[in-house]
Structure 1
């Protein structure tokens, strides 16, 4: 999650910070975090919702009404609904994903968590994720939130990014290094 903070600068970062401060002052941080997680999942799952959020053609009132209906159906908290309503009214829904990422980054920082982006050739099992999380926690010395990505081009192994540090133990990279070494021999 901390890595997402870098992507949530500017406009999205300011909105995320405002929402986080509101959530803290209303003692609703966990509820808002859950709401935003649900909303992010809905955006990822629904092409129509993504189009609604990203479209500059749809009128602000229509976007606001549609988002209100979606949030009512999802039973999001009042604070989250009011925030998204302001975002829609200000024609900033196109930055919603960045705002969600920024909020998650503020939450991780608030909890003292560090984010790790783990890319593997196939989806890791829960046991593998738990083992990796424990190893990273031991190496870093703080709680770690693991964000998984899948890249079948890796062939095998992992690429782990924590902040500006990256450990690439993927089979693809090892084969590339071997290929370079073989070129150097001949």
Structure 2
């Protein structure tokens, strides 16, 4: 956990752990990160220097109140705002969540499938990955219909691509080599 995001995430982990609020803070940060990614106006508020600290703090405070954020999350975000580091807030949240998962021995798999997976299918994918990657595997599923069929599983830097699209691309390369 190096760099600015790592230092802030580490401090927040320590505080949340001391107050036995890791799960509540993690849930708040997941929601906050999703809101940042989905809302262009919020990203602009966080990243633009044309907004004063007071404007940013007021807007964030109202959002966190509406959100029902834990007091630790609320205070932390306001400290980040006061230190003029809001542009790094999404990175801090992601770093916090990754480090929390690492400390708990959890592994996060990103699965891209050609169609939506049922809960049973998601559980089957997680169970298949448990033996190789650890006892606790969390599966995040996204849908990309261009895969045609199959799926792509990524855990850290490892990727398993069993999509029909990739198989067709390989076949096309082989056929071009023959002709």
TM-score between both structures, scaled by the size of structure 2: 0.92
- Pick from 129, 137, 141 the counterpart of residue 122 of structure 2: 129
Which residue does 1:116 correspond to in 2? 109
**Runs of 4+ with deviation above 4 angstroms:** none
Cα distance in 1 for partners of 2:136, 2:99 equals 15
- 2:34 is matched with 41
Residue 71 of structure 1 pairs with residue 64 of structure 2: yes
- 2:8 is aligned, of 15, 19, 26, to 15
**CA 1:138–1:18 in structure 2 vs 1: closer, same or farther (change >3 Å)?**
same
Report the secondary structure of 1:149's partner residue: strand
Shift of 1:9: 4.6
Q: What residue is the counterpart of 2:43 in the other structure?
A: 50
SS of match in other structure, 2:93? helix
Unaligned runs of 5+ in 1: 1-7
Partner of 1:98: helix, strand, or coil? Answer: helix
Q: CA deviation at 1:14?
A: 1.4
- 1:149-182 deviation per Cα after TM superposition (whole angstroms, max 9, x unaligned): 3333222211111122111101111001101111
SS of match in other structure, 1:156: coil
Tell me which residue corresponds to 2:133.
140
Written as runs of structure 1 = structure 2, the 5 A alignment for 1:136-175 is 136-175=129-168
When the two structures are aligned, how many residues end up with a matched partner? 179
Higher relative contact order (CA 8 A, sep 6+): 1
Aligned with 2:13: secondary structure?
helix
Whether the 8 Å CA contact 2:114–2:149 is kept in 1: the answer is yes
CA RMSD of aligned residues (A): 1.6
Secondary structure in 2 matching 1:148: strand
What TM-score does the superposition give when structure 1 sets the normalisation length?
A: 0.88
- What does residue 183 of structure 1 align with? 176
